C-alpha cells in the first residue's frame, strides 16, 4: 500500500514538474513578446519623434514662405498704387497743359 502511495506521489510530482516546465516555457514566450513589443514601441516612438521634428521644421518653412509671399504681394500692391498715382499726375499735367493752351 505504501509503495502504491509512493507511486502516486511520484506520478503527481512528475505531473507538477511538467506543469511547471510548461508554465516556464509560456513565461519565456510572454517575456519574448514583451521584449519585441517594447523594441517595436521604441522604434515607433523614435520615428514619431523625428516626424514631429520634421513637421515643426516644415511649419517654420511654410511660415517663412507665407511671410515672403505677403511681403511680395504688399510690394506689388504698393507698386500698382504708385503706378496709378503717376498716371493720375500725368493726366492732371496733360489736362493742365491743355487748359493753358486754350487760354493762349
Give the position of cell 493726366.
Answer: 91
Tally of structural domains, the chain: 1
Within a domain: residue 5? yes
| Domain limits for position 67 | 1-73
State what percent of residues in the chain have pLDDT above 90. Answer: 61
The string of pLDDT tens digits covering residues 12-55 is 999 999 999 999 999 999 999 999 999 999 999 999 999 999 99
pLDDT band of 8, cuts 50, 70, 90: confident
Rounded to the nearest 5 percent, the helix, strand and coil shares of the chain are: 100, 0, 0
Judge whether 85 lies within some domain: no
Report phi then psi at 12, rounded to 5. -65, -40
30 CB neighbour count, 10 Å cutoff: 10
> Can you give the length of the chain in residues?
104
Predicted structure pTM score: 0.54
Amino acid at each position: 500500500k505504501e509503495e502504491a502511495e509512493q507511486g502516486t506521489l511520484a506520478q503527481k510530482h512528475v505531473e507538477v514538474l511538467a506543469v511547471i516546465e510548461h508554465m516556464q516555457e509560456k513565461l519565456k514566450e510572454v517575456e519574448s513578446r514583451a521584449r519585441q513589443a517594447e523594441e517595436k514601441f521604441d522604434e515607433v516612438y523614435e520615428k514619431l519623434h523625428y516626424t514631429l521634428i520634421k513637421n515643426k521644421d516644415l511649419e517654420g518653412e511654410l511660415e517663412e514662405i507665407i511671410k515672403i509671399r505677403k511681403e511680395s504681394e504688399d510690394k506689388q500692391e504698393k507698386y500698382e498704387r504708385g503706378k496709378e498715382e503717376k498716371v493720375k499726375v500725368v493726366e492732371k499735367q496733360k489736362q493742365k497743359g491743355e487748359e493753358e493752351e486754350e487760354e493762349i
